[in-house]
Amino acid sequence: SKLSQLLKYGFLKQKLQEPFLSIRDILGFAPRNLDLYELALRHGSMSLKSADGEPINNERLEFLGDSLLSAIVSDLLYRKFGSAREGELTNIRSKLVNRETMNRLGVQIGLNKLVIAERQASKDKKSSIYGNALEAFLGAVYLDVGYEQCLEFVKHKLMPLYNELNMTIEENMNYKSALLEW
């Protein structure tokens, strides 16, 4: 892309290189449309205004990313737990995509260092800024490089962070299976 060529030849200021490199590190590949990721990281507390007065922030991307995450996690769980019933799969998915987990994952992958938000909003312990930013980030990945790459990002970047939680879930499912067999 033009942006990566400019970076290669050092034409961009450090100010622009820094977020690009951080986002590239999180993604594991160079983003094609950096504007999407910057929008994904702009919290509503720091909205800009479009020419027609509409707020510019990550809320629409968050909506898209939330839906994508639910679909991708559902797909992965469906394939991983072949004998699980619908209720069990729903319970597992809700544990994986709940607000607390999403906030923790957002911090673990480094979005907390990139989110553009008012200081007060980002320090609030009950805030979901980083989880919302992660969902918006997934929406940006999808719009930037498509569903397959978004699926790979969730599979290879987020799912490994679920390891401890996955083990607990599998243990719980095994106890349920043992009880049912008994």
pLDDT tens digits along 128-151: 999 999 999 999 999 999 999 999
Residue 120, pLDDT score: 62
**30 pLDDT higher than 60:** yes
DSSP state of 12: S
Tens of pLDDT, residues 52-99 = 888 888 999 999 999 999 999 999 999 988 899 999 999 889 888 888
Quickly state the pLDDT bin for 31 (edges 50, 70, 90): very high
User: How far, in Å, CA of 29 to CA of 17, rounded?
Assistant: 15
Q: Which residues contact 37 (CB under 8 A, 6 or more apart)?
A: 19, 23, 31, 137, 140, 144
Residue 25, pLDDT score: 92
Find residue 131's DSSP bridge partners.
none
User: pTM of this prediction?
Assistant: 0.78
Residue 172, pLDDT score: 52
Distance set, CA 5 to CA 1, 20, 42, 121 (Å): 6, 12, 26, 36
Active site residues: 66, 135
CA angle 61, 67, 71 (to 5 degrees): 140
Rounded to 5 degrees, φ, ψ at 26 are -65, -45
Return the sign of the alpha-carbon dihedral for residues 129, 36, 23, 18: negative
Residue 167, pLDDT score: 47
Residue 178, pLDDT score: 47
